[in-house]
Structure formats: C-alpha cells, structure tokens
Amino acid sequence: MKNDDAHRVWTPWPHRCLLGTRRSIAMSPCSIVDPQNPGSPNRGFLPLGTVTLARPATAAPSTPVVAAICVAEILGLAGFSIIPALLPQFIGAWSLTNTQAGWLAGIVSAGYMLAVIPLVTLTDRRPARQIYLASSALSALSYFGMAVCDSLLPALGFRALAGIGMAGTYMPGLRALTHGVEGATRARIAAWYTSSFTIGASLSFLFGRVGTLLGWRSAFVVAGILGAAGVFIACAALPRGDSGREEEPQPLLDFRLVLVNRDVLALIVGYAAAIWGCVGLRQWIVVFLTFRAGDQAPDPAYAWTILVVGAVINFLGVPAGLIGNELSIRYGLRAVASLVFVLSALAGGLFGFTAMLPFIAVLGLSVVAGFIVQGNFSNLTSGVLAVAARRYLGATIGLYSCIGFGASFLGTLLFGVTLDLFGGTSQLPAWAVSFGTCGFACLVGAAATVFLPRNIWQR
C-alpha cells in the first residue's frame, strides 16, 4: 500500500486498524469517524469499520498546570494598571494634558499591537514556551525601568516595552496551553486563561495604593519583583512540547488566508470593538470618579474608595467573561455576543451622564456597567480558536490580538483627545462625548457578530 493511501483503511471491525502516516508508522492512535457527522470533534463508532488515521492526540494540560500558568500571568501583569490607577497623580506631577495622559495610559497597548503579530506568528516556527519566557522577563525588566523615569518620554519607552513583553506572553501562553486540545475543554481553558489576564489587571490597580503611600516608583519596583517571580513559575510549569510548531508554517506577515475566513474576520472586528468599548471604564474611571468626587477626592477615604472601585471594575471581567463564555457555548456565540454588545452600548456609551447623580450612585452604576462591557472577552477568544485553520493559528491569533489591542490604544487616546476638545475633565459634556465613543464601538461589534453562524462550536 502506498503511503498516500494510509489515511483511510477499510477493515472489518474490531480488527486492529492500520497505523501510519508519512511521518510515523507506529504508535499513532486510530480515529474512528462518524459517517453521519465526519466533521464532529467528538469522534464516534463506525459500524462498517471505516477507519481514518490521525496525528497523535495531545493530552490537555492538568488543572495544576493551567492554574500555575494563570498565576504566572497574574504576577506578570502586576504593573499593567498602575498608570491608570495613578493617572491623576501623573497628570499633576508631570503637567500632562489629557491627550498626553491618553498616550501614557495607552502606550502599553500600542507596544503590544506592534509586537504581537511577529511574536505570535513566530509560534508557528518556534515553541511557544521559549517566546513566553523571554517576553515575560522583558516585562519584569520594563517595570524596573519605569521606576527610574522622571518624565513622559522615557516613561513612554518603558511602557511600550511592557506592551511588547505582554505581546509575547499573553497569546503564546494561550497557544501553549491549548495546543492539541479541542472542543469545550479548549474553550474553558481559554476562558480561565483570558480571565486571569483580567485578574492581573485588577490586582495591579490595587498597587495604586502602594503608590499613594510610598510613591509610584515603589509600586513599579514591587511589580518588577512579582513579574520576576512569574517568570520562574512559568519556567517550571509551562508545557515543554513543540506547541505551535508546524512543518509548513505560514509566511510571516502574510494574512491573506486568515482574512478570507469570514468568521475569523467577524471575530477580529468584534474583539476590537469589545476592547474599545470598555477603555473608558477600565482606563479612565479613576480620573472620572476623581472629577465626580470634586473637593473630596484628596480625602484618603475617597481616594482609596476610587482605587478599589477601579480594581473591582477590572476584576468583574473574570465572572463576566466566564459567564459570557458558558452562555455562548449553551445558546450560541452569535446571539450572546450581539446581546452583550447592545447592552454595552447602552451601559458604557451613556455612562458619562451618571456624573449628574449622587457619588454613591455613580459608584454602583460604574460596577454594573463594568460587568456588562466585559462580557464578550472570553467567548470571542474561544470562538477564534475554534474557527481558525490549524496551519494558520499563530498568524490568526496574532492578527486578532494585534487589532484588538490596537483598538485599546486608539480608544484610550481618542478618549483623552475628546476630553481636551470638549473642555477637559471638569466638563460634563466632555465626559458624555468621550464615553459615547465607547458606546459607538460596541454598536460596531454588534453589527460584526451578526455575521457569525448560529453555533460556532459545531463548525
């Protein structure tokens, strides 16, 4: 029998199936295909004994391994939200305009945007583990560098390096964990991993308290130490297989075969809209609550309350993402994502008008809105893993993440520019229009997800 014929063998069941492909003859498990649903991820029994040959299955990582990598990710993000948490302090200390503050808060996403495509696409050629470890070390070093900055320009440089480091850890880590894992198991691993990003960003907000007590430099030193600890944990726990290595990888920066996939394109637009739609509540909430608190903002109790609310809003991305993911598995990604986008357009886009309400009401509504606008993070990421062609997976998630975090940078910057154009942080119309840009992004996301199939997990 020729090697080309070894992929499909007819033999009476339950005789032993012929094992072998061009790359391996023995030790390859048989795959039994259901003739009624040959594309099903859950292979069934074939009554007539039709057998197909497949690659060796890769076991899903154990729960302790997934948990350890999630912890490493959280530690590596210790410095991620320090700037948004202390943005009023940086505006005052360095005499920044709102536009400059937007650059400072968003430059991490810009660094991520520039580096994520080459770094994630590189996982089609090199083990994702190597890229993850080198990049996480770079993130830790960037926090120490930020601690010695005394003006905007060098701070922008070190924050951009932090974004580059994050580009080499976030999606490569996800690929290393989900390599060879299919179906709902992959979706749930992706949901927990992406939710850990939110946990890390939330806890990073609380380092603002270190900044208010000991100075922002101390906060970045602590973040650098925790980031280094995350490197050691990842080194010990990250799977050592050839996750992501393909025999015929796609050429770098060639995304034509990625973009012809209509589902991938819709999910990329949706992810960008989801991130843009929440930048007001994630990046500017401390400045907004400081504006609303007025003369009471310098009070230590009010300052701490504002930081806690900012951390809670970021942390709510965890239950919001997990619930959104489970609802999408049960009821379909298209229906759930579209509904969340519409609700986000209302809750986030109109949030600026809450400044007219009592301070305690603003705090409560900010938490509610923060939960709603983060409901589409995990499900969209799980969806793109499901529909992406295996050969182009690195390029697909690289482009997906690049455009998403590019939207984070542009959304954060546009928010600051809009504040300046409409009178600054002391003007209610400026806040209303700025949050309105986030609501418009959510409407774009709703329009994009309408084009998804009803149940993406069955494709």
How many domains is the chain built from? 2
16 and 41 co-located in one domain: yes
Determine the pLDDT at residue 37: 40
Determine the pLDDT at residue 106: 92
69 and 47 co-located in one domain: no
CA dist., res. 33 & res. 14, Å (int):
14
Determine the pLDDT at residue 249: 53
Note every long-range contact of 141-147, with CB atoms under 8 Å and residues 24 or more positions apart, other chains counting: 141/165, 141/224, 142/79, 143/78, 143/79, 143/220, 143/221, 143/223, 143/224, 143/227, 144/220, 144/221, 144/224, 146/79, 146/220, 147/217, 147/218, 147/220, 147/221, 147/224
Determine the pLDDT at residue 209: 73
194 and 172 co-located in one domain: yes
Determine the pLDDT at residue 241: 62
Helices (H) and strands (E) in the chain, counts: 20, 3
Where helices occur in 77-168 by DSSP H, the ranges are 82-85, 87-93, 98-121, 128-146, 152-167
Determine the pLDDT at residue 360: 93
52 and 67 co-located in one domain: no
205 and 311 co-located in one domain: yes
| String of DSSP letters for 104-130 | HHHHHHHHHHHHHHHHHHGGGTS-HHH
pLDDT along the chain (459 residues), means of 10: 40 36 34 36 36 44 84 92 88 91 93 87 81 94 94 94 92 79 72 82 80 82 94 86 53 68 90 94 92 82 87 88 88 92 96 94 95 91 83 79 90 94 93 96 95 73
Which one, of 304, 253, 246, 265, lies nearest residue 124 by Cα?
246
Range of the domain at 80: 63-458
Read off φ and ψ for residue 30, nearest 5 degrees: -80, 150
CA dist., res. 402 & res. 195, Å (int):
18
8 A C-beta contact, residue 136 and residue 165: yes
> Which residues face 31 on adjacent strands?
52
CATH of the domain at 256: 1.20.1250.20
CA dist., res. 410 & res. 398, Å (int):
18
Show which of 40, 57, 74 is a domain's final residue.
57
Token pair 């606008």: residue: 373
Determine the pLDDT at residue 363: 95
pTM for this entry: 0.74
Determine the pLDDT at residue 215: 81
5 and 132 co-located in one domain: no
Determine the pLDDT at residue 60: 66
214 and 350 co-located in one domain: yes
